[in-house]
Structures are given as C-alpha cells and as structure tokens.
Structure 1
Amino acid sequence: MPYMETKDATRLYYKEWGTGNPVVFISGWGLSSEMWSYQMIDLSTKGLRCIAYDRRGHGRSDDPGGGYDYDTLADDLASLLDHLDLRGVTLAAHSMGSGEIVRYLTRYGSSRIDRLALIGTALPFPLKTADNPDGFNRELIDSSRAMWKRDYPRWLFENEGPYFGAGLPGCSVSPEIVEWTKADMRQTSLKAILDCNLAVIETDFREELRDISLPALIVHGNKDCSFPIEMSGMVASRLLPNNQFVVYENAPHGLYITHMQRLNDDLLEFALKK
C-alpha cells in the first residue's frame, strides 16, 4: 500500500484514483480517507486525480502519540504534496480539515495550490470567548471530552442522528452507512481524538483567513448541529476575501453522504474552473 513519511518519520497512508487536475481531500475530525470514497469514485472518472490520506493516528497511518496540532498536521499535508510533487491543486476539506488547509497556506504559501473547498467547516473559531460570543461554551466541550474518555463508542451512537440529519427532508441514510462511518471513527486513536479536538476548539483562524486570496468554495448545511452555520460557514464566508458561499438546505454535518451527488457536482465544477 502507498505510504509516505513526514518530517518526524511518521508514516501516512494515502490513495489516489484517476488522472487530471489534482484534488487532495482532507478528512474531518476522527475520520480517515475512507470518508471520501463516494466523492473519489465519482470524480476520478470525470477528469480529476483524486488523492486522500489518513491523518496521523487515523486509519492506516501511524499513531505516534503526538503531533495532533495544526502546525504539525499542516507539515504532514506539505509532506504529501512534496512527495507527489503536486501543482495546481484543489484542496478540499471537511470540518477539522479546513484548519489544516489554512495553516498549510500560512506556513507554506500557495505556490502548489489553485483553490480550496471548505465543506461543513469548523472554521474560524468554535470556542466562546469575549470577542466570539457565538462559540461553544467550554463546559459543553469539557462534558463531551469527559464522555469520550469513558465511552467514546457510546457517544458516537448517541450522536449519529444529528450527524446524518435524522428526520430531515432528503437525509435518508442506510443503517449500514451509519455503521460504516462509526467503525471508521472507532478505529481512530483516542489520543488523536482528544488532541485533535483541542486543536479544533482552541485555534483561532480569523486573522489567517483574511490573508488567503485564493478562490474558495464554502459549502455548509443550514441544519449542521456539529458546527452550526451561524458560527462557522457564515463567519468564514465574511472573512475569506474571494469565496463562493453555498448553503445546502436541510443538510447536516455529514452532508458528504446525505447530499453526495450535489456535493460531487459542485466540487467537479469548482475544481475544473479555468
């Protein structure tokens, strides 16, 4: 299987399907490259070279027990882009992965990158503070983290409904898809789950977003319970200078499954833009 080494000798698994303009997919919190299977299988037949990798501590990649901060994760992304010598890249990320894109651009610039797509983004800053009153209360975050330390699989079960928009129009998802997603998340290192969560919650990307001039596509569901649109996608769209903000009605955080074909079509059109 294809692996590459990062700066600290952590081995990361990656896969690539198709030929053409490169699209690199960065997974959401707790998920491996498997989450992008239904985007890659479609887009790789339509003129795109689709590449996805397992973040450290996720999927088939090494679990070094550390490095779950945005600087190191951005360095890991840089290692992949260098390893494959990619140019003219579309970076597409879900949830937490959006921060890896932004920090990569801050640290390495945009010489390899043409555009970025932020899907169900956790950006720009989810924590409630004096100057960010719409963020999550620290007490809510601490409560979830305490449960993960006791029974993470149980938390996944209790949150599967909101994640896939149970009861929302157009959000019919099979029990098998739900179980497939939870199985992917259950195999993720608990250290990575906890440390990556802190990185997501405590990192403020507001200033970094203002410095990005690349074309950006922001896709967010207006029924996203994980990162409500009012505190994430909507705010990110006001900070990124050059973006197209697309709201999916009745879409949850797991819209890459519930609104699969619409997202695939939007990504294809965006990635092939001249």
Structure 2
Amino acid sequence: MSSIKTKDGTEIYYKDWGSGQPIVFHHGWPLSADDWDAQMLFFLDAGYRVIAHDRRGHGRSTQTATGNEMDTYAADVAELAAALDLREAIHVGHSTGGGEVARYVAKHGKGRVAKAALIGAVPPIMLKTQANPGGLPIEVFDGFRKQLAANRADFYWQVPIPFYGFNREGTPVIEAVRANWWRQGMMGGAKPHYDCIKAFSETDFTEDLKAIDVPVLVMHGDDDQIVPFADSAPLSDRLLKNSTLKVYKGFPHGMCTTHADVINADLLEFIRA
C-alpha cells in the first residue's frame, strides 16, 4: 500500500496511477478513495495522472482520535501534494471532499493548483445559522451522531438510499452500489467519522471560496437529498471569483456513481478548456 506519514504520525493512504497532468480526487463522508473508481479509470484512460487518498480516519488511513476537522484535512492534502510534488493539479471534491478542496486550495494551493471542481459539495456552510437561514438545523446533524453512535452498521446501510436517490419513484435500489457504500463506510473509524459530521456541517467556507482565484466548476444535482442544492452550489458560485455552475436536473447526491458518464464528460470538458 502507498502511504505518507504526516507530521503528527498519521498514515494517509493514496492511489497514484498514470502520468501527465495530475487530477486529485477528494471523497465524501464516510467513504474512501474507492468511491472514485469510475472517475479514476476514465481519466487514467484519457491520459491523466490520477490520485485519490483516504482522508484521515477513513478507509485505509489511520483511524485518528484527533485532527478530524477541515484545517487538518487540508494540511494532510498539502503534505501529500508536497510528497508527490504535484503541480498544475486539478482538485476534484465531492460532498465533504468539496469542503476539503476549498480549504486546501485557499490555504495551501498557491503555485500548485490549476483548477478545481466542487461536486455536490458542502460549501459554503450546511448548518442553519443567522447568517445562513437556508441551512439545515443542528438537530439533523445531532440525529446523524445519535444514529452513528447507536448502530453505525445499520445507519450506513440506510444512508445510501437517499444518497443515490433510490427512494425516488422509478429508481430501483442497486444493491451492489448500496453494499459498496456500506463497505467503504465500515472500513473507517467510528470516532473520526463522528467528528467529521461537525467538520462537514459546521465549517464555514465563505472566506475560502472568496480567496480562490483559479477556475472552479461547481456541479450539483437539483434532487440532492444530502446537500440540498439551494443552500450550496448557487451560493458557492456567487462567492467564487472564476466559476461555472452546472445544475443536473433530477440527479442525486451520488451522481458521480449513478451518472458517471455525464459527470466524467463534463469534467473532462472543463479540464481541457
């Protein structure tokens, strides 16, 4: 297994395939680099160097009791980018990974990042606050924490249903996709996953988005039941200096899996532009 050891001793697992301009994929909660299989193979075949890591506490990386928050996540990516000497990289983040991309590019990406893409991403902020009245109430995330602590295996078996829109009329459950989501989730640690709920829901990325000056593609399904569209993608699009917003009618949160052909083609067009 390929991994780096960060300054605090955490081992970060990663895949690094191919050559050419690097594309770095940042996964959502509570998944792993494996969630990017359809994108890794597609862009490898298109002539790119493709890299995906397991965030600390997730997948094959160390199940950390500390550092499970966005500043450390972004610092881990910075250490990985330095170790692999990544330059002119494109960073692609889904869901929580979109927050990680925003924080990394804003704080550490100077001179290393060419473009970024945020897919069904959590920025600017998911939580309902006075400044963000359209967000989700804290009770939603408290419910996540309660269910995770009570029976993580069952909780992770239920989440893929709305995640992939399998609860929508005419959309059958793809059992293998559901099982693969569950497999990835159960590989990670309960403590870091628990902590990460706060990281993805309460972190305010407003200033990060304002600071990013590279081109950014913002992609979001308008039937996203995990990160509701109205309080995410259009707000991020307004805060970014150089962004393109693409909205996908009827697509779910997990559209990189359910509609990989569409997402991959649009990502490739953006990267080549």
Q: TM-score, normalised by structure 1?
A: 0.95
Shift of 1:169: 7.8
Structure 1 counterpart of 2:164: 164
Matched residue of 2:196: which SS?
helix
- 1:225-240 equivalences in 2 (<5 Å): 225-240=225-240
Structure 2 counterpart of 1:40: 40
Unmatched runs of 5 consecutive residues or more in structure 2: none
1:164·1:171 contact (CA, 8 Å) conserved in 2? Answer: no
CA-to-aligned-CA distance 1:81-128 (integer Å, 9 cap, x gap) = 001101100000000111212222332242100000000101111111
- 1:3-22 equivalences in 2 (<5 Å): 3-22=3-22
Structure 1 counterpart of 2:143: 143
- Aligned-residue sequence identity (percent) comes to 39
Is 158-167 or 33-42 further displaced after alignment? 158-167
Matched residue of 2:231: which SS?
coil
Structure 2 counterpart of 1:60: 60
Distance in 2 between residues matched to 1:169 and 1:260, nearest whole Å: 21
Matched residue of 2:230: which SS?
coil
Structure 2 counterpart of 1:260: 260
Matched residue of 2:219: which SS?
strand
Matched residue of 1:268: which SS?
helix
Q: Rate the CA distance shift 1:238–1:169 in 2: closer, same or farther, 3 A.
A: farther
Distance in 1 between residues matched to 2:170 and 2:241, nearest whole Å: 32
Unmatched runs of 5 consecutive residues or more in structure 1: none
Letter in 1 for 2:164: F
Distance in 2 between residues matched to 1:185 and 1:113, nearest whole Å: 29
Structure 1 counterpart of 2:222: 222
Letter in 2 for 1:190: A
CA-to-aligned-CA distance 1:21-77 (integer Å, 9 cap, x gap) = 110001111110000011111110111111001111111111231111111111100
Letter in 2 for 1:226: I
Distance in 2 between residues matched to 1:240 and 1:66, nearest whole Å: 31
Distance in 2 between residues matched to 1:215 and 1:158, nearest whole Å: 36
Establish whether residue 123 from structure 1 lines up as the match of residue 96 from structure 2: no
2:157·2:178 contact (CA, 8 Å) conserved in 1? Answer: no
Distance in 2 between residues matched to 1:170 and 1:33, nearest whole Å: 29
Please provide the CA RMSD for this pair.
1.5
Shift of 1:207: 2.2
2:13·2:60 contact (CA, 8 Å) conserved in 1? Answer: yes
- 1:159-238 equivalences in 2 (<5 Å): 159-166=159-166, 168=168, 174-238=174-238
Q: Rate the CA distance shift 1:116–1:169 in 2: closer, same or farther, 3 A.
A: farther
Q: Any runs of at least 4 consecutive aligned residues in structure 1 with deviations exceeding 4 A, and if so which? A: 167-173
